[in-house]
Structure 1
């Protein structure tokens, strides 16, 4: 009997040397040669790896594909993620109708109109952080001085989380999304966040303010619709997602622009519409959720001559789909004037990112403000010396030393 070759693990591969903004070469090769293939997981199991843009959009909208990580066969990203998957249950990992019922509780808070009203406050925070950078003088770490505090301050004010606790929740968040974390450490960090936010929600139930957590406490905890644990877990999702992703996009996007001076100059001098387009292109080009969106089949699905059987895991490689030449011409080129709104950086279908309007606005304000304040901005060390976040669920840089 001939043994079946072991499927390669597309998520243990490193990016090519000198190409920190591109997906790993073998993953990109699959887009051309085998857009639906088998890939091995950290635990020796296998899952289907889907790389083509049109296939991913179809699957993300297919009710036969489940986001529920409680299902057998769900392809967890790491031992830590596997250990915490039940503890981390939120609307992000729910199917209909539970998903929509839970998600609707927050859609109004992140609507285009509600987010647009935050512009003056976000602009003020950006100016304050840039003032502090300028006063301290170069060099500076753009991550700690600007990229991380900006979305952290914004989401703290929106939720009603004290920003003075940022060191705690940023540390716990980092442990939770680090694929190298032990199951014990990840579970402990997750529980710490639930305990912290549970206490906060209960305090707001007794003395509510005008923030989002106060609304959750009054509408859902006080009425008995949700218990403390459920409220805390939803709050944890909003807090972690609300600062981790945008912080890494600000820093990584700046790093990418510094490697493309013509594109950087265009963003610096652009008007609002062109800046908005530039943000979409950076989201496409970088795709910081680089470990793929994880799903499991609920029924047999035929795709590109293959049968994905019920109970089998599926990984949708969004970073590769965002480089699909069938959708984006010359996809490996950064072009801020590209019409890139079809990108999958925020996913697609019913689970498309709830906070995308807020992320877009923060990026649209942050990039030009930073580049206009420091027109001579440059890396303070070579690109090869920048520590990239290969082993985190959200890609980016650990630090970005800059001067001006």
Structure 2
């Protein structure tokens, strides 16, 4: 039985394109081990691909972040929550989770999203037009990475894009590790309050957008609650722009650093979908978001985890596990490995994964076709990576063409 923690979480990177070095040590020497959390408590980390998938697909591990014993990755996170705060999908367990997910799942089918493809293409082209018309160097984060997913999710939800600076500002505060608990709570409350007010405006004459359709459908089922739908809207709005935006920026840098890989998608756009999967695996920007609380004594990877103990699944470690991926530290867009856990696994697997894949595919195909001379305006070691955020990415990406 392990009696001491060897590492503190979160662990520091030494390379912007690799997980923390400690991940390999943990994965190879003690794949289920204890770490010290920012609030002084401790939790188990699960680091191997097979074990991560097992935890995420096992009902003996709860996603309920409101439980007092749930492992908190940010100091003071529990205190920042309001007592009346609604659980979102990522915080629900069975049997509550299934019906709540099913109610909105139809909005993210491949068929429905394919109908959005022309509009997403139009948005991407418009942002690239603006980039090319602007000064050099340009900031790809400001001109492309953030606006594209923000515009798409705003249109899907029926959120006025004119308010994007408001929710992007508060989202940034939520995900920055150094944000004081009271400011983090205020940022979350501001976005949630905004969403409650927006839904209230839609209730009299629900429009044909995701939130409007949910109002109609949930009323018909007799399950409509404004605050619950606001929680769903909050989750989709925040996750729908922040994650994809960071993937666009990081992947662009990776392509520019690996011209032979970039040449493959320029020569044949049929390679782009495999490239998207490889970028998702390679970066795994939401690393330990899939935290869990053990609710029944369970053995994982030969280690007994007791009820009431917290568990962190290290997605970035799992996606660099040589047992699951050959030469895992190499970027190989021909890998075609969709069994990565960048979108999680099991019943809580990312609801918007098909949308993210489509946005990334359209952005990469369009950007490198229309701006074939794109290059970084600064050295890689000068880029401001988000080492201080819970979702990895870039604050700015200066480019020229």
Q: Quickly name the TM-score band, shorter chain normalised.
A: over 0.9
Q: Say if 2:49 is the partner of 1:50.
A: no
The whole-number CA distance in structure 1 between the counterparts of 2:173 and 2:102 is 29
Q: How does 1:112-151 map to 2 (within 5 A)?
A: 112-151=110-149
Equivalent residue for 1:238, pick from 233, 236, 260: 236
Aligned equivalent of 1:299: 296
Q: Say if 2:206 is the partner of 1:174.
A: no
Q: Say if 2:32 is the partner of 1:33.
A: no
**Measured at CA, do residues 338 and 210 of structure 1 come closer, stay the same or move farther in structure 2, by a change above 3 Å?**
same
CA drift of 1:73 comes to 2.2
The whole-number CA distance in structure 2 between the counterparts of 1:82 and 1:381 is 40
Residues 134-186 of structure 1 show CA distances to partners (whole Å, capped at 9, x for unaligned) of: 11142110000000000000000000000000000111111112221111111
**Measured at CA, do residues 80 and 355 of structure 1 come closer, stay the same or move farther in structure 2, by a change above 3 Å?**
farther
CA drift of 1:296 comes to 0.6
Q: How does 1:248-263 map to 2 (within 5 A)?
A: 248-263=246-261
More displaced stretch, 73-82 vs 26-35: 73-82
Question: Where do 5+ consecutive residues of structure 2 fail to align?
Answer: none
Q: How does 1:186-265 map to 2 (within 5 A)?
A: 186-220=184-218, 225-265=223-263
Aligned equivalent of 1:363: 360
Contact 1:248 1:395 in 2 (8 A): yes
Equivalent residue for 1:288, pick from 285, 290, 296: 285
CA drift of 1:69 comes to 1.1
Aligned equivalent of 1:346: 343
The whole-number CA distance in structure 2 between the counterparts of 1:382 and 1:347 is 32
Aligned residues, how many? 398
TM-score, structure 2 as length reference: 0.96
Contact 2:39 2:76 in 1 (8 A): no
Q: Alignment partner of 1:206: what SS?
A: coil
Question: Where do 5+ consecutive residues of structure 1 fail to align?
Answer: none
Contact 1:38 1:47 in 2 (8 A): yes
Equivalent residue for 1:106, pick from 104, 121, 127: 104
Residues 113-147 of structure 1 show CA distances to partners (whole Å, capped at 9, x for unaligned) of: 11111110001111111111111142110000000
Contact 1:205 1:221 in 2 (8 A): no
Q: Alignment partner of 2:7: what SS?
A: coil
The whole-number CA distance in structure 1 between the counterparts of 2:45 and 2:5 is 14
Residues 285-318 of structure 1 show CA distances to partners (whole Å, capped at 9, x for unaligned) of: 0100023420010111112332100000000000
Contact 1:346 1:353 in 2 (8 A): yes
Q: Alignment partner of 2:8: what SS?
A: coil
The whole-number CA distance in structure 2 between the counterparts of 1:203 and 1:122 is 26
The whole-number CA distance in structure 1 between the counterparts of 2:45 and 2:353 is 25
Aligned equivalent of 2:60: 64
CA drift of 1:85 comes to 4.9
The whole-number CA distance in structure 2 between the counterparts of 1:91 and 1:37 is 28
